Amino acid sequence: MLEIIRIHNELLGTYGDRGNADVLKYRAELRKIKARITDISYLDPLPKSGDIYLLGGAEDAAQLLSLTALHKGKILKSAANKGAVVLAICAGFQIIGSSYSTREDEFAGLELLDVTTEPGDKRLVGDIAVQSPLFTVAMTGFENHSGVTKLGDGVDAFGTVISGNGNGIDGVDGAISGNVFGTYLHGPVLARNPEFADLLLERAHGSPISSVDDQLADQYASWRRAAIK
């Protein structure tokens, strides 16, 4: 059974990123891989048993509340160190870094990725397309943030920005290290990019997975890629 942990959706669910869990479960079951989604409130301890952990976007107060809860026990970092897949979007991406700052304070992150985020001087909103070395096609999404995220040594960007802003610096979006992925792409990103969903499933499954015939998902992905230049 593949366990997909949706973390703090009541806090990190502002931009529809909860849909990433549903896409993963659906595409797993197309391949006859049993999967379940476990929703974890910020009031509950984070399970150690997850194969995939998902974090989404949030406003500042909710982001800090989620970070505070996740600091307890360092369970997410421990799971990532053991090979679990982590996908963190926007605010989730910022809190799994080394630190992130508001205009008033700086907070220690969960240290899954060596990245730091500071407030930028404008809000970055709109469609975004990213060319990642992991895929032959562009990844698309929608960004809405004002953070500027800098990558540390030994951390690769998720991809190079084709259109949009991404991290707000150096022309890149997101960061990856092992099975940990951070990005500013909402959408939800896995609905817009089925190739990305399949990569995460394969990493979590631990072996190659079969291709599937999902024409609707493929058509939608192609349409969004054609719409964003």
Q: Which residues carry out catalysis?
A: 90, 186
State both tokens at 145.
Answer: 């943030």
d(C-alpha 47, C-alpha 127), whole Å: 34
47 upstream amide cis, omega within 30 of 0: no
Strands (E), the chain: 2-7, 35-40, 52-55, 85-89, 99-101, 106-108, 115-131, 139-151, 159-163, 172-173, 175-177, 180-183
Spatial separation of the C-alpha atoms in residues 162 and 167, rounded to whole Å: 13
Of 188, 1, 229, nearest in space to 87 by CA:
188
Distance, in Å, from the CA atom of 163 to the CA atom of 64, rounded to the nearest integer, reads 29
3-state secondary structure 3-26: EEEEECCCCCCCCCCCHHHHHHHH
Neighbours of 153 (CB within 10 A): 5
Structure tokens at 197: 């969903």
